[in-house]
Amino acid sequence: AAPQAEIERIDSAGLTGTALIGEGAVLRAAGGSVAIDASRDSVSSGTLEVPDGSLRLGSSRISLGDVVGSPGGLVLTDAQLQQLGASQLILDSRSSIDVYGSASFSVPELRLISAGVFARTDDASFEVDASHSVELSNLGGVAAPVAAAGTGRLAIRTAQLELGAGEFSIAGFASTDLATTGDVISRADGATRIAGNLALAANRVTSFAGVTRRIDATGNVVLSRAATSAAIADTDLETRLGAVLT
Q: Is the pLDDT of residue 206 over 60?
A: yes
pLDDT tens figures, 115-152: 999 999 999 999 999 999 999 999 999 999 989 999 99
pLDDT given for residue 121 in this prediction: 95
The pLDDT mean for the chain works out to 86
Please check whether residue 135 is in contact with residue 110, taking contact to mean a CB–CB distance below 8 angstroms.
yes
Q: Where are the beta strands (DSSP E) in 70-132?
A: 74-76, 88-93, 97-100, 102-106, 109-113, 116-119, 125-130
Q: Is the pLDDT of residue 19 over 60?
A: yes
Question: From CA 139, how far away is CA 166, in angstroms rounded?
Answer: 6
pLDDT given for residue 165 in this prediction: 97
pLDDT given for residue 233 in this prediction: 56
Q: Which of 64, 14, 63 is nearest to 37 (CA)?
A: 14
Other residues' Cβ atoms within 10 Å of the Cβ of residue 148: 12
Question: From CA 8, how far away is CA 58, in angstroms rounded?
Answer: 11
Other residues' Cβ atoms within 10 Å of the Cβ of residue 228: 10
pLDDT band at 99 (very low <50, low <70, confident <90, very high): very high
Assign 170 to helix, strand or coil: strand
pTM summary value: 0.88
Residue type, 57: L
Q: What secondary structure letter does DSSP report for 81?
A: H
Compute the average pLDDT of residues 179-185: 95
Contacts of 105 (CB under 8 A, 6+ apart): 78, 81, 82, 84, 127, 128, 129
Question: From CA 130, how far away is CA 86, in angstroms rounded?
Answer: 11
pLDDT given for residue 222 in this prediction: 96
pLDDT tens figures, 37-92: 876 666 666 677 788 889 898 888 999 999 888 778 888 888 888 877 889 999 99
